[in-house]
Structure 1
């Protein structure tokens, strides 16, 4: 049986880590429905693929959650795409379309962060930032260290 706790990745955007409460992926096809007066059938015309999106409810927790929330906000507002890593998906370049930060008076140290990410796809010239490269390298080093440690 799969050990989910060991296979889930640490979530991050542009190297800023966070925990994920929920992520929702949407996509599909764009369809034009041609309905005619008095008709009993609809002609469907495929218009290509719909733009995929990830709606993510992230959270930050702990004594430094306010600083982490500010770092995540800066990462979301940075120009261009950034590396998005979700627990069950590999890293990919994505744009953050919009975000919302929520704090609750009875949950001090817990900050919810909801955002919509649009995958960059095959955007030519997309450049990873320093935080993205650092996170990718550290993720691989951690994975390699864990595998190496399992040998002994």
Structure 2
């Protein structure tokens, strides 16, 4: 069985398109400490980077403009959706940015460059407890999260004889 047998039709949120090219990137986040007047350094691993995918999509044919409009609508909807690429397969992604290009020399053809980011969090529903919802989603994904902004005394230093947060100064 060759790789051609595994190819799937490309789509985002069920809207089909053709793929000219796609790339996927990721890696690890980190910080490297370089000590002054020393040959030593220390590398700190800060965890996995979020996966990003760039797609060069195109739509072609007599009704390409309707298909391109449908894809644009799917790209601009809130939250993540299922992105299926011929070789990469299905993934839950959110479109960060896209650019649509059409040229008079290439009638019946639209080229759409799309940048996606992995999206494992469902959109928030208005009226639900936002902090609790995000915390539950993060815990379900195995992440620790602290959404507390702290107390006023964490942000302000009281002036002598003053009260924290009222006329105090920033720390």
**TM-score (norm. length: structure 1):** 0.75
RMSD over aligned Cα, in angstroms?
Answer: 1.7
| Aligned residue in 2 for 1:70 | 69
Write 1 or 2 for the structure with the bigger share of strand. Answer: 1
SS state at 1:39 partner: coil
Residues 39-77 of structure 1 show CA distances to partners (whole Å, capped at 9, x for unaligned) of 223211000111110011111111111111111110011
For this pair of structures, how many residues does the alignment match?
124
8 Å Cα contact 2:79/2:122 also seen in 1: no
Alpha-carbon separation, structure 1, partners of 2:84 and 2:122: 20
Deviations 1:71-122 (A, max 9, x none): 111001111211110001221221111101011221111111011111223x
Any gaps of 5 or more consecutive residues in structure 1?
Answer: 127-152
Larger radius of gyration between Structure 1 and Structure 2? 2
| Structure 2 residues not aligned, in runs of 5+ | 125-171
> 4+ runs of 1 displaced by more than 6 Å?
none
Other-structure match for 2:101? 102
Higher relative contact order (CA 8 A, sep 6+): 1
TM-score (structure 2 length as normaliser): 0.67
